[in-house]
Amino acid sequence: MALFDDVRLIALRATLPLAAATLAACAAADGGPVRIGIAGSFSDPIGLPMRQAAELAAEEINATGGINGHRLELVTRDDYADPDSAVFVAADLYDSDVSAVVGHLFSGMTLAAAPVYNGGDDPVVAISPSSSSPEVSAAGQFTFRICPSDLAHGTVLAHWVRDRLHLRRGAVLYLNDEYGRGIRQTFVSEFTRLGGDLQSVDPYLGDRPDVGPYLDRLVHSESPEFIVVAGNRGEAEEIIRQARKRGLKMPILGGDGLEGIQAAGTLADGVYLSSPYFPSIPSTANRRFVEAFRRKYPDAGLPNQPAAGAYDAIYLLRDVIARAGSSRAAIRRALAGVGSVTPPFEGVTGTVAFDANGDVPDQNVYIGLVMHGGVSVVNGADGSEGTR
Q: Mean pLDDT per 10-residue run, the chain (388 residues)?
A: 34 41 48 95 94 98 98 98 98 98 95 98 97 92 95 94 97 92 93 96 93 94 92 95 95 93 95 94 93 97 95 98 98 98 96 97 93 87 36
Which residues in 49-66 are b (16+ Cβ under 10 Å) and which e? Answer: bbbbbbbbbbebbeeeeb
pLDDT of residue 19: 44
pLDDT of residue 132: 86
Secondary structure (DSSP) of 287-338: HHHHHHHHHH-TTS-S--HHHHHHHHHHHHHHHHHHHH-S-HHHHHHHHHTB
pLDDT of residue 331: 98
pLDDT of residue 221: 85
Do 38 and 54 form a contact (C-beta atoms < 8 A)? yes
pLDDT of residue 196: 97
Instruction: Give the pTM.
Output: 0.82
Secondary structure (DSSP) of 38-66: EEE-TTSTTTHHHHHHHHHHHHHHHHTTT
Q: List domains and CATH numbers for the chain.
A: 2-148+282-352 (3.40.50.2300), 151-275+366-377 (3.40.50.2300)
pLDDT of residue 30: 61
> Which residues 6+ apart lie within 8 Å of 348 measured at CB?
277, 283, 285, 286, 289, 308, 311, 312
pLDDT of residue 4: 32
